[in-house]
Amino acid sequence: MAGVNLYRQGTDTEGYARHLRDLMAGLDKPLVITEFGCGAYRGAQVRGAASFFAVNWFADPPRLRAGTVRDESVQARYLTELLELYRDTGVRGAFVFTFSMPGFPADDDPELDLDTAGFGIVRPGADLASWEPKQAFHAVAKHYAAYKEPR
CA separation for the pair 86, 69 (Å, rounded):
28
Q: How confident is the model at residue 128, as a pLDDT?
A: 74
Q: How confident is the model at residue 148, as a pLDDT?
A: 67
When divided into structural domains, the chain yields a total of 1
CB 101 within 8 A of CB 124: yes
CA separation for the pair 83, 116 (Å, rounded):
21
Q: Looking at the domain assignment, is residue 151 inside a domain?
A: no
Q: Looking at the domain assignment, is residue 114 inside a domain?
A: yes
Q: Looking at the domain assignment, is residue 35 inside a domain?
A: yes
Query: Which among 46, 64, 62 is positioned nearest to 54, based on CA atoms?
Result: 64
**Domain span including residue 8:** 2-145
Q: Looking at the domain assignment, is residue 47 inside a domain?
A: yes
Q: Looking at the domain assignment, is residue 8 inside a domain?
A: yes
Tens-binned pLDDT, residue by residue, of the chain (151 aa): 999 999 999 999 999 999 999 999 999 999 999 999 999 999 999 999 999 999 999 999 999 999 999 999 999 999 999 999 999 999 999 999 999 999 999 999 999 999 999 999 999 988 878 999 999 999 999 999 987 665 5
Model-wide pTM > 0.85: yes
Q: Looking at the domain assignment, is residue 134 inside a domain?
A: yes
Q: Looking at the domain assignment, is residue 58 inside a domain?
A: yes
